[in-house]
């Protein structure tokens, strides 16, 4: 982060990481991903989704041909419901920062 600021201090910089892994955000918004990329019609967010250590594997167990990030991330990301995904604290943090940035591009 310090290096980025030293290189481009004139640009707002923010780092957001998914808790555990990117696919955790898919679990948070599971209902919006029903029938996408082979996920079942009754796909729903598990109540313990933020504690799942292998979200990729968990998704793959529910898909007929397994989960492959190269094949499945983009179609799932295109369909994810952002409001549902906000139930993941790490995604909510990213969402709030981007919203503030869009409202005020001079964020320090």
Percentage, residues of the chain above pLDDT 70: 96
pTM of the model: 0.84
Give residue-wise pLDDT tens across range 21-61. 999 999 999 999 999 999 999 999 999 999 999 999 999 99
4 contact partners, CB below 8 Å, separation of at least 6: 13
């Amino acid at each position: 982060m310090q290096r980025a600021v030293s290189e481009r201090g004139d640009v707002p910089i923010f780092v957001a990481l998914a808790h555990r892994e990117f696919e955790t955000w898919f679990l948070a918004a599971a209902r919006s991903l029903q029938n996408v990329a082979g996920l079942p019609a009754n796909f729903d967010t598990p109540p313990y989704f933020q504690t799942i250590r292998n979200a990729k594997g968990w998704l793959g167990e529910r898909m007929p041909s397994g989960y492959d990030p190269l094949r499945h991330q983009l179609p799932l990301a295109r369909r994810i419901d952002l409001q549902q995904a906000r139930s993941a604290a790490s995604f909510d943090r990213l969402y709030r920062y981007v919203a503030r940035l869009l409202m005020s591009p001079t964020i320090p």
